[in-house]
Amino acid sequence: MDPIHQFNIEKIFTIGHIGGQEIAFTNSSAYMLLAVVLTSLLMLATGRKLVPGRMQSIAEISYEFVADTIRTTAGKDGMKFFPFVFSIFMLVTVSNLVGIIPYTFTISSHIIVTAALAFLVFFTVLIYGFYRNGLRFFKLFVPSGIPVVILPLVVAIEVISFLSRPVSHSVRLFANMLAGHITLKVFASFVTMLGAMGIVGVFGAVLPLALVVALTALELLVAFLQAYVFTILTCIYINDAIHPGH
């Protein structure tokens, strides 16, 4: 009944070695590929009817949802990043939702995964920002209409907040998924522990069981919401790369 056990990385087979480090195909890799396969099935294997069925509706709603999110936060120019943002959204959403199912693995409960995605967004913003705006990209750190006296302070704050983006971006998703799954596991283990204590325990187990059901519903919301938050932050950061002036 170790609540941490669900986060273990288990090797399925070895792919190779890079600089003495073993590169393995793990349960995490399997769930990443599962997310890719499920997304592909959703987007490619559903119908193309004039009046969509359920799965086709989900595919089209996913499309419109991400497209609207980009359009409202980053404007029309942001649509250049549509496949990028869509891939992030679907990867995180699908894997988070799959992770709710008992006995599965949640890839975003590993800081390395969320950090990799956050740094991918960070460097995309940085590189595209300089590519598109040149040195004008530094305007991002200099808000207009600030008195010269406090300008150095404001610029320092802006730079620090910009540099800390990947941290907050990745830790938010990681911590939410990790904490949610630990909470679920802890309450679920209460149920089995109390259930093993005889007739009184069985009645006592009702409360944690109800809590597990309620928490599962909450985690379903959190799984989607954190994926959405991750996506919308990505869009906001991309907007900075496109329109660096405040």
Chain positions contacting another protein, by CB under 8 A: 4, 7-11, 15, 17-18, 20-26, 28-29, 32-33, 35-36, 39-40, 43-44, 48, 50, 52, 56, 59-60, 63-64, 82-84, 86-87, 90-91, 107, 109-113, 116-117, 120, 174, 178
d(CA 121, CA 127): 10
User: What is the per-residue burial (b if ≥16 Cβ within 10 Å, else e) of 222-243?
Assistant: bbeebbbbbbbbbbebbbbbbb
- The secondary structure of residue 18, as a DSSP letter, is E
- The secondary structure of residue 138, as a DSSP letter, is G
How far is residue 121 from each of residues 43, 54, 65, 86, 213, measured CA to CA in Å?
A: 23, 32, 19, 13, 35
Minimum distance of another protein from residue 36's CB (angstroms) = 5
Of 17 and 246, nearer to another protein (C-beta) is 17
Of 140 and 223, nearer to another protein (C-beta) is 223
Minimum distance of another protein from residue 13's CB (angstroms) = 10
Minimum distance of another protein from residue 217's CB (angstroms) = 25
Of 111 and 193, nearer to another protein (C-beta) is 111
Minimum distance of another protein from residue 53's CB (angstroms) = 12
Reading the block at residue 73, the tokens are 């936060």
